[in-house]
Amino acid sequence: MGLDRVEQRIVEAAAVLPSYGGVTGWAALRWLGGRWFEGTDVAGWRLPVTLATGGLNVRHQPGIRVCKEKLDPRDLIEVDGLRITTAARSVCFEMRYADNLRLAVRAADMACFNDLVSTSELSTYVLAHAAWTGIPRARDALGLMQENSWSPAEVDLRLVWTVDAGLGIPLCNVPIFDRAGRHLGTPDLFDPDAGVAVEYDSSLHLTGFQRARDVRREEVFRSHGLEYLTSVAADRGDVDALVARIHATRARARWLPESQRAWTTQAPPWWVRTETVEQRRRLTSGQRSYLLRHRAG
C-alpha cells in the first residue's frame, strides 16, 4: 500500500493514538468501507485525519486533527486492527463540523450508501447528544437526508431541487415499471406527482455505450408519459439556471392521475427492493453481489 493511498494515511494517523481514543469522522467511515469518503474536500485538497482522544493529548503531526470532546467507551470499536469510532458517531462528527448544511447532508447520505448507518440510527445518536457543538446543523441535515443516493453529485442535485427550487423531496433511485411489471429504468431523482425523471450525467455519460444507453432510457421514459430532465456538471456553476429548468420541466409534465399513468413505482411481487438501508442489510451475500453491483464501481 503506497503512502499516497487514503488507507495508508489513516493507518499512519492511528499510530499516534494515545492509550484511549480512535480515528473518527471521514477516515473512520472510509475504514468501515465508505466508498465516497475519499479524504479530500470539494476543491480536492486533502482533509486531515481526525483522532478522537477524549481529552488526552497527542503530539502535533501534519495531516492530523485532534478532537478532545468527551468520548464514550461505547463509541469505540476495533476494525481490522484499528481503533475507530462507531459509524453513528463518525457520521455525526462529519455533520456537526461540515462547512455547510449541504456537506452535512452529503456525509449522511454517503454513509447510507454503504449501509454504515440508517436514518433511524443516526437520528437516535444526534438527538441523544443535543449539547454537542454543531448539533443544530446535524439536526437540520437529518430532515434532508435520504438513504438511497448513489453519489455526492446526486445529493447536490437533490438539494438544488429541494432547497433552491423550493420543491418537495423527490424519490431517489426508485425503480419505475410499466403496468405489466416490466422495469423501465431507475432515474437518479423522480417526482411522482408531476411524472418527472431527473438524471445527473457526468463526463462518463457523454460518449460511447453509456451515452447510447442514456438516450434509450430517455426514449423509454418519454414513451410512457414521463417528462425528463438531465443535469450536467456545468449546472453547478449556474444554480439559478438549473432551478429555472427544473420549474420549466415540471410545468411541461403531464401531472396525470394514477389511473391514467402508463407507469408505476409499485414493484411486481418478484422484485427485490433495495431503496433503504434496512432492505439492503437483509440481502444475502449473493443478492448484494448482484443487486448492488453498481456500488462497487
Mean of the pLDDT values across residues 180-202? 96
Type of residue found at 39: G
According to the model, what pLDDT value does residue 213 have?
A: 86
- CA 84/CA 165 separation, integer angstroms: 39
Q: What pTM, to 2 d.p., does this model score?
A: 0.94
- CA 240/CA 164 separation, integer angstroms: 8
**Concatenated DSSP letters of 175-191:** -EEETTS-EEE--SEEE
- State how far the alpha carbon of 185 is from the alpha carbons of 110, 218, 229, 245, 267, in Å: 22, 9, 14, 22, 12
The CATH 3.40.960 domain(s) of the chain lie at 152-264
- Quick one: cell of 181? 411489471
User: Reduced to 3 states, what is the DSSP secondary structure of residue 185?
Assistant: strand
- CA 94/CA 83 separation, integer angstroms: 18
Mean of the pLDDT values across residues 82-95? 98
pLDDT digits (tens, 9 = 90+) for 5-55: 999 999 999 999 999 999 999 999 999 999 999 999 999 999 999 999 999
Kindly report the CATH number that applies to the domain delimited by 152-264.
3.40.960
pLDDT digits (tens, 9 = 90+) for 247-279: 999 999 999 999 999 999 999 999 999 999 999
